[in-house]
Structure 1
Amino acid sequence: MRIPYGTTGLELKRDVSGAEVLESAIGTLKAQASEDDLVRQAMANPIGSPTLRQLAQGKKTATIIISDHTRPVPSKHILPFMLEELRQGNPDIDITLLIATGFHRPTTHEELVNKVGEKIANEEKFVCHDSRDAESNVEIGVLPSGAKLVIDKVAAQTDLLVAEGFIEPHFFAGFSGGRKSILPGVCDQVTVLGNHCAKFIDSPYARTGILEGNPLHNDMVAAAKLAKLQYIVNVVIDEDKHVAAAFAGDPFQAHEQGCAFLKGYCRVKPEKKGDIVLTSNGGAPLDQNVYQSVKGLTAAEAAAAPGAVLIISARCNDGTGGESFYRALRDCSSLDELMDRILATPMDKTDPDQWEYQILCRMMRKHRIIFVSDPAMQQTLEEMKLEYAPDLDTALDRAFADKGPDAHLVLIPNGISVIVEP
């Protein structure tokens, strides 16, 4: 069996014929039309909403929230049709494309060209959201959690606010897409940090594939409503990152239908919890650092028995992925001390990256975690109180020595592509 790792993958030489294998069915997802046609069809039949053409009528300004360079949204197959419909409904409408960077760095022009194409990148008006620039953001309300909702002025002051995006499983928001275009997409850091607070991340409902009862999702929905997000075009992509299905219309109804559709392909259920669970972060570029690899580990966590050994194949050629993330685990006197400190942190004092090391700390307190990674990462991983192994077979040998020769092995080749249900 080959497990994703970097751009090459890793060979599993050990006999694992008795293992339980959990894989998503995304590979069976076959588009019924071209990427462009799927988007056009969805926009021609919006869910719970007038068409974008109708929404544009009588509006002076429109803002399309677009995803940034960190998301594989096939914008070249979405934006041309959104722009076309807006101008068909109102030829004089003033359109701004607002790049939803969330808490990330700004998108470069080169990245923008790669994402939307030369024509749109050079002819349309763009604004890159900056969550750290208080002057470019404005408070528009208070969320159910009590956090201030502070969003980009471009989004707050437009006559018509719409968004593109894609839907995939998300390890604490349940799913990406829909309401996430607003929060964290175009929110000020005070709102993003409040939403990702320790109390919310600690919720048992802040998990992959869960929306109902998820406190992060609830605040995100409220943010989208307060921001008056009126219309979305969200897509589901296949393994080659091509549009496989599209959902357009009301931001909440269209998103819910998209999530339900995707869940049918991603949902897996172990027959028996694993004493040993081996997974990956899907290979490059998603396994480039330890920070990102937390996502794949949460799939292993969901399929694991108490005290199980979790093994993740992640090259981590770009290091830890965040200095505060690395230092939190390196410098804590114990994992219990770190978790107590995190849980005592008020919403308005949330540290950047806190949610990532909180989730990793949660798993480390319950499980032995082994990273099969770049040899250059051994010392760093051990400083973070994680274990390094040079290859999958060595990691499995250690795990079976720990859990016994009859231990139940669960293999999840791609941890970020599944929703593991109990």
Structure 2
Amino acid sequence: MPSIQLPWAAWFGDGVQRLDLPAGWEVQICAMQDAPALRSQELPAACRRTISSPPLRELAFSCRTVAIAVDDLSRPTPAHLILPALIAELIEAGIQPENISFVISLGSHTALTEDDLIKKLGKEIVARHRVVNHDCHGELVDIGVSVGKVPVKINAAFMAADLKILLGSVVPHAFAGYSGGAKMVLPGLSNIESIEWTHKAVMMGLRGKAGTLEGNRFRAEFERVARHAGVNFAIQVVVNSRREIAGIFAGDIELAHREAAKFAGEIYATPAPQQADVAILNAYPKDDELLQAENALMYHHTAPEEYLKEDGVLLITSACSLGMGHHGLFGPHQRLYRKPMAKGFLKQRQLAAFMPGVTSEQFHQVYWEGYPHFSTWQAAREYLQQRYPNGGKVAVLPCGSIQICEQSR
């Protein structure tokens, strides 16, 4: 009996999930190009190599207060590995430790608990520094710029700092091309109205595509707002298939991001299978909650039609360690929530899910009732056997949420 091993439960063990497949099935593991992890002693030097920016120490020299925006657990950035060196550099520049604060760039996601903050930032930083969860309905500052006709307001604690720094990961994003960079400001640190505008703009066609930044008007809006907000410096992290740091790109919020995206495109590139019956798309390293699980379709959005048969099955696998999760716009009962429907872009293909961290009732609050959900792998495997009694060809994308087809680059 063939078996596969999937990376599993980002932030909650980062382990391996073994899945046994029916005997006689043909299995193709579609691994990304990948990259080795930087060694711990390499991280400080990588942060000091700046792109189109003065050194951080120089930027900090004339400042008294610093705010560092960091992404949340729905993003794979192991910030705790970078922050000690970053803080040391700021202190060497004359910044007092008590004047260094952190703001979690949540957009409209749920606030991080103390345990979550320790996972993301490290225990010592949470104990010694002020840490604020962004609240898109909370204390905000109008920065005098609009998106569409909507005034943009930014987190007050972040705006109050003399030196504003972003720290986040760069992975493929369905509309912004890649995550990270200025996206951590809008929508990450913004008011709910401007966050809503960004999502409505996507629905109206203001979007790019995953893995592509050229001509992306969606990202251009983010960068215009971040410049206006006075962001001084950004540290862009690219992780590998095990959520380890493979690259650090520090400096200008746009140009450092472009270099990070170029590297990300290289290591996330994945060959396309041909005419698979089933594609297993694993959501790791963005598999912590149901509302993020659809990121597992990232590879599907960049792959040629022929990678999966016209009547094939896309099986999303996700640990959903935090259960449903929360999104202030699209989650159940939120302002842009709609009754789930069949996904037109799948055409005749069937979507199914193995997500042990949620119930079928929760799953169908987000996905169409015609898509089966399985809490156990045995049930999912029986479903595949019933659909393909004579066996089939399975393509496995171990990190489907960050993999992009190399033919699309």
Tell me by how many angstroms 1:369 deviates. 1.8
- Does residue 213 of the first structure (1) align with residue 215 of the second (2)? yes
Q: Distance in 2 between matches of 1:216 and 1:77?
A: 31
Tell me by how many angstroms 1:127 deviates. 2.2
Tell me if the contact between 1:280 and 1:314 (Cα under 8 Å) persists in the aligned partners.
Answer: yes
Q: Distance in 2 between matches of 1:100 and 1:222?
A: 18
TM norm structure 2: 0.80
Tell me if the contact between 2:286 and 2:292 (Cα under 8 Å) persists in the aligned partners.
Answer: no
Aligned partner letter, 1:245: G
Aligned partner letter, 1:88: E
Gaps of 5+ in 1: 329-349
In structure 1, the residue matched to 2:371 is 386
In structure 2, the residue matched to 1:294 is 294
In structure 2, the residue matched to 1:351 is 335
Tell me by how many angstroms 1:255 deviates. 1.1
Q: Distance in 1 between matches of 2:171 and 2:285?
A: 17
CA RMSD of aligned residues (A): 3.5
- Does residue 112 of the first structure (1) align with residue 87 of the second (2)? no
Which SS does the other structure have where 2:212 is aligned? coil
Tell me by how many angstroms 1:266 deviates. 0.9
Which SS does the other structure have where 2:50 is aligned? coil
Tell me if the contact between 2:30 and 2:273 (Cα under 8 Å) persists in the aligned partners.
Answer: no
Tell me by how many angstroms 1:313 deviates. 3.9
The one-character-per-residue Cα deviations of 1:285-323 (angstroms, maximum 9, x if unpaired) are 71653x332111342354334844332142566765569
The one-character-per-residue Cα deviations of 1:338-381 (angstroms, maximum 9, x if unpaired) are xxxxxxxxxxxx93456x968x7343556332334559528964
Structure number with the higher helix fraction is 1
Question: Match for 1:30 among 25, 29, 36?
Answer: 36
Alignment of structure 1 residues 73-88 onto 2, 5 Å: 73-88=77-92
Tell me if the contact between 2:239 and 2:245 (Cα under 8 Å) persists in the aligned partners.
Answer: yes
In structure 2, the residue matched to 1:262 is 264
Which SS does the other structure have where 2:261 is aligned? helix
Question: Match for 1:249 among 237, 248, 251?
Answer: 251
Tell me if the contact between 1:79 and 1:116 (Cα under 8 Å) persists in the aligned partners.
Answer: yes
Tell me if the contact between 2:173 and 2:179 (Cα under 8 Å) persists in the aligned partners.
Answer: yes
Q: Distance in 1 between matches of 2:248 and 2:183?
A: 17
In structure 1, the residue matched to 2:13 is none
Gaps of 5+ in 2: 10-15
Which SS does the other structure have where 1:102 is aligned? coil
In structure 1, the residue matched to 2:17 is 8
Tell me if the contact between 2:166 and 2:234 (Cα under 8 Å) persists in the aligned partners.
Answer: yes
The one-character-per-residue Cα deviations of 1:191-236 (angstroms, maximum 9, x if unpaired) are 1111111x41464954321222334322222221111211112222
Identity of aligned residues (%): 22
Tell me if the contact between 2:64 and 2:95 (Cα under 8 Å) persists in the aligned partners.
Answer: no
Tell me by how many angstroms 1:152 deviates. 0.7
Aligned partner letter, 2:78: P
The one-character-per-residue Cα deviations of 1:43-100 (angstroms, maximum 9, x if unpaired) are 3221110011100122232211122343332222222222222222234583222221
Aligned partner letter, 1:281: N
Tell me if the contact between 1:67 and 1:181 (Cα under 8 Å) persists in the aligned partners.
Answer: yes
Aligned partner letter, 1:111: D
Tell me if the contact between 2:363 and 2:373 (Cα under 8 Å) persists in the aligned partners.
Answer: no
